[in-house]
Structure 1
Amino acid sequence: MKQYYYTDGVNKYGPMPIEELKTKGISAETLVWYVGIDNWIAASQVPELKAMFKDEWNSKNESSFWDAESKNIDTTENHEIRDHALNVLSSQWGIAIGTFLVYTLILMVTQFIPIIGAVGSLIIGGPLLLGLSIFSLKLSRKQFVRIEQLFEGFQNFATALGAYLLMVLFTLLWMLLLIIPGIIASISYAQTFYIIAEDETIGPMDAIDKSKKMMYGYKWKYFLLNLSFIGWILLSIMTLGIGFLWLIPYMQVSRARFYDLVKHNNI
């Protein structure tokens, strides 16, 4: 008999059979795990749990929120993407803020190292960004996350470094023409590290090309998604940067959600 575990974000409970799990009043986004899957996933992603709690979750409008099959980038508004991010983060603010803070501090400290700071930032920037993408995707998908995932990008160091350097180079070359072409180019490359996070065998140039194809027709929507945070950015500046502790995770999970939605259109 399959035994389940679930977590409230702090403690883990189990093992227990599905009948006992039913008495726990779990929600659609409660993280569960059982032998046979690699990561913790939302309860609504488990067919037998979705069937068991269907009426209860529908009455609370929960299961439809996690029904990825019914969503894609064309049918999802940007405010829904942001709502998804806030819903995900509501029980994960601690680990999210901690991870993004470590990411920022590592880059800041590296840049202050005399002589080698700029080079060091270029070398570790790619692997760290890949790790951040892995973390953000798992967070957006309501899978189990831990701060160590930030460093998983170093396991694919060559690809991460190559993709990062190529993206910087291509963006700078476009910037030589005008600012706007540079912005458009950077948006075209926006999905590169999410693609590498899901396919460790892909090469840097192939990942960039795939991102460009994936973003075809959706660059404006992605631009508007990022532009929608401008008010929060100004507010964070007014708080002497403290607001960025919450804003950066909010933006990154929104971007990860955008990737999953736009990817759905390219399957």
Structure 2
Amino acid sequence: MTDEQSPSQPQDAGPQPIPPAGGPDMDLGGYLSAAWSLVTGDFVLFVIGYLVVAAILGVSVLTVIGPLIIGGPLWFGYFRVVQTRLKGEPASIGDVFQGFRDFGKGFLTFLLLALIVLGVVVVQMLLSLIPVLGILLTLCVSLVVGPMFFFVMPIAALSDVSPTDAISRSVKFCFANFWKMVLLSLVLGLIAMAGSLVCGIGALFTVPLAIVATVAAYNEYYLPKTQDAV
């Protein structure tokens, strides 16, 4: 998979500015509809595939650093399975391991995101020490950070963009389309977490649903505005 260049651009052109307008408008309902159809139509692949990833990561917790090492490649594989099926091509549960072909990239992407999350947690802990206002500021941080890094994993997993560039592009896209990204991130995040309310079992369905919707949004909302390649 390679970054595609517009015919009017030289091959060595750098990343293009993220436009706040142009391209398709966000269609949250459309992404969720596509995700629902795909997950319910290929239930075993997406649910068992997610269960395999979650189980391996769960066991790797025993090594403390295991999830940090293999988390990225596993999620790369899962996102690529989703992308393959969204293209109408066949995929199998075993394909979740294809992310290990890009082990270094997957590892670095996951590591950088983990460090960002750690930094955010530290900031939120410090803000929570402020009476009353601290709670509000903590919530504001969450509402901003989620959208900023929402597309990092699909950008990194589904194109030749480096982990650092994936982060940069996701952040730029967020601030160019801020409120829509807040809505997209918030709704899909709530859907992913909703399954945990049913003894955690529901997450086996809601997390794949949210991930598929994320990749659909990447294809139909992010890519047309940025000219990144799938």
TM-score (norm. length: structure 1): 0.63
Task: Tell me which structure has the larger Cα radius of gyration.
Answer: 1
For residue 198 of structure 2, the aligned residue among 229, 239, 262 is 239
| Residues 127 and 161 in structure 1, CA contact (< 8 A), matched pair in contact too | yes
Unaligned runs of 5+ in 1: 1-70
Task: State whether structure 2 residue 69 is matched by structure 1 residue 109.
Answer: no
Secondary structure in 1 matching 2:226: coil
Q: Could you say which residue in structure 2 is the equivalent of 1:124?
A: 70
Unaligned runs of 5+ in 2: 1-21, 125-137
Structure 2 letter corresponding to 1:215: C
Stretch of structure 1 that moved more, 174-183 or 257-266: 174-183
Structure 2 letter corresponding to 1:181: V
For residue 211 of structure 1, the aligned residue among 144, 165, 170 is 170
Task: State whether structure 2 residue 210 is matched by structure 1 residue 251.
Answer: yes
TM-score (norm. length: structure 2): 0.72
- Structure with greater strand share of residues: 1
Once residues 232 and 190 of structure 1 are traced to their aligned partners in structure 2, the CA distance between those partners, rounded to angstroms, is 13
Structure 2 letter corresponding to 1:135: V
- Structure with greater helix share of residues: 2
Q: Could you say which residue in structure 2 is the equivalent of 1:220?
A: 179
Query: How far does residue 98 in structure 1 lie from its aligned partner after superposition?
Result: 1.0
For residue 144 of structure 1, the aligned residue among 90, 113, 121 is 90
Once residues 173 and 145 of structure 1 are traced to their aligned partners in structure 2, the CA distance between those partners, rounded to angstroms, is 36
Structure 1 letter corresponding to 2:105: T
* Residues 137 and 72 (structure 1), Cα distance of their counterparts in 2 relative to 1, 3 Å cut: farther
| Residues 163 and 204 in structure 1, CA contact (< 8 A), matched pair in contact too | yes
Higher RCO, Cα 8 Å, sep 6+: 2
| Residues 233 and 244 in structure 1, CA contact (< 8 A), matched pair in contact too | yes
Secondary structure in 2 matching 1:215: helix
Deviations 1:94-153 (Å, cap 9, x if unpaired)? 211110110111111111x2xx2x211111111112112212222333322211221111
- Report the RMSD for the aligned CA atoms in angstroms: 2.6
Once residues 198 and 212 of structure 2 are traced to their aligned partners in structure 1, the CA distance between those partners, rounded to angstroms, is 22
Percent identity, aligned pairs only, is 24
Deviations 1:72-98 (Å, cap 9, x if unpaired)? 551x43122111111222321121111
Query: How far does residue 207 in structure 1 lie from its aligned partner after superposition?
Result: 2.0
